[in-house]
């Protein structure tokens, strides 16, 4: 059964990798209906009271719940895509990132309880809140259980992928470290995208008005950011020093923007704008800043690694994945693969750690 799942998804033949995907899928399949029920119940009651979102003094609160829940739904789908990509590319770092991503969503789901309660009070839809209260509490509990399982499976797939990296990169310690830095960098870019988008969507939908100049500017920035993050992966693979330098400047500008917004959220003169989403915007702004700092550090390290074989390693590992074994082979087992010489595998895995 696991073989068929792995073949259908085109992922690495790792028993624990397959279970990792199954766990993420079950987690998403459990949380999504809960979110859908909550969203539908509140939408039904809100439409009964306010019609098709007429403009009232509670207008920002009318947009808050759909934004919260839609973002959460996107997060569950996005992590499923990342999980498939992590196993397909044998990227243990990305698997670890998915664990931390779920921890961030655990915090977000815990904040939702008070945020939804406050929104229900502001809009006068107490019946919807009472009907969904148990589901809202259950969501962080389900995510917490999923995190525990993912931690164990991540450790197990690290053991599988550690040997795979040894075969692809070789025994050279410096090469392993350079490749590890590359993996961390490209993984950070994927999470940068989500947290930037999460902050921006809440800011545009709930805080800004359509006639604000900042509204149009922010909408324009979204596709430009996606293009920039894509170019960042191209520059590091091609070892383009000028391109990496430009990206570091972009990261610094982005970090300055989020620091500015974080300060702005708590300015007394701006309090009324952010009241409906202050807590969640703060969480997303702080997480984005943390990820940007880490991205800048890894971008600098990767740039210093240019000209030392990183480009060849990235190319060789990509070609190795393309020319995988025949799909008729079964899951990797100790009998299928002979380990390297005495002590080398253990040494390799310790280095990747």
Instruction: Locate the domains of the chain by residue range.
Output: 1-169, 195-323
Q: Which is nearest to 122 in space by CA: 64, 42, 61? A: 61
DSSP 195-224: HHHHHHHHIIIII--TT-HHHHHHHHHHHH
The pair of structure tokens assigned to 173 is 């310690």
Burial class (CB in 10 A: 0-12, 13-18, 19+), 247: buried
pLDDT of the chain along its 353 residues, tens only? 555 655 656 555 678 888 899 999 999 999 989 988 888 888 787 777 766 555 444 566 667 777 787 888 889 899 999 998 888 888 888 999 999 999 998 988 888 888 788 878 877 777 888 888 888 899 999 999 999 999 999 988 887 776 666 556 555 677 778 888 889 999 999 999 999 988 888 877 766 666 677 777 778 888 888 899 999 999 998 889 999 999 999 999 999 989 988 888 888 777 767 776 777 888 888 999 999 999 999 999 999 988 877 777 776 566 555 555 444 444 444 444 444 554 544 444 444 44
Q: Between the CA of residue 326 and those of 10, 12, 321, 322, what are the distances in Å?
A: 12, 12, 12, 11
Q: State how far the Cα of 103 lies from the Cα of 92, in Å rounded to an integer.
A: 17
Close Cβ partners of 103 (under 8 Å, ≥ 6 residues apart): 147
Model-level pTM greater than 0.85?
no
Q: Which is nearest to 292 in space by CA: 266, 257, 264, 260? A: 257
């Amino acid at each position: 059964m696991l073989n068929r799942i792995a073949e259908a998804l085109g992922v690495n033949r790792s028993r624990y990798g397959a279970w990792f995907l199954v766990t993420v899928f079950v987690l998403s399949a459990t949380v999504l209906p809960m979110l859908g029920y909550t969203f539908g119940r509140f939408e039904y009651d809100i439409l009964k009271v306010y019609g098709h979102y007429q403009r009232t003094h509670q207008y920002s609160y009318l947009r808050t719940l759909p934004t919260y829940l839609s973002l959460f739904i996107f997060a569950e789908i996005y992590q499923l895509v990342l999980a498939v990509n992590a196993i397909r590319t044998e990227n243990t770092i990305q698997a670890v990132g998915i664990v931390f991503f779920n921890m961030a969503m655990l915090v977000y789901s815990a904040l939702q309880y008070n945020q939804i309660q406050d929104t229900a009070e502001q809009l006068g839809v107490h019946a919807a809140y009472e009907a969904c209260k148990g589901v809202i509490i259950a969501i962080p509990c389900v995510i917490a259980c999923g995190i525990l399982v993912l931690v164990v499976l991540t450790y197990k797939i690290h053991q599988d992928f550690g040997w795979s990296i040894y075969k692809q990169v070789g025994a050279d310690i410096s090469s392993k470290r350079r490749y590890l830095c590359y993996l961390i960098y490209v993984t950070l870019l994927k999470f940068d995208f989500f947290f930037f988008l999460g902050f921006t969507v809440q800011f545009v939908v709930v805080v800004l008005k359509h006639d604000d100049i900042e509204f149009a500017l922010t909408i324009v920035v979204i596709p430009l950011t996606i293009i920039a993050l894509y170019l960042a992966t191209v520059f590091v693979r091609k070892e383009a020093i000028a391109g990496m330098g430009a990206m570091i400047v972009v990261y610094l500008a982005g970090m300055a923007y989020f620091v500015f917004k974080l300060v702005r959220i708590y300015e007394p003169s701006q309090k009324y704008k952010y009241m409906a989403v202050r807590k969640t915007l703060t969480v997303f702004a702080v997480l984005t800043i943390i990820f940007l700092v880490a991205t800048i550090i890894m971008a600098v390290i990767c740039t210093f690694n240019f000209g030392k074989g990183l480009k060849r390693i990235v190319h060789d590992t990509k070609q190795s994945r393309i020319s995988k074994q025949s799909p008729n082979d079964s899951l990797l087992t100790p009998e299928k693969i002979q380990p390297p010489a005495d002590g080398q595998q253990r040494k390799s895995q310790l280095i990747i750690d």
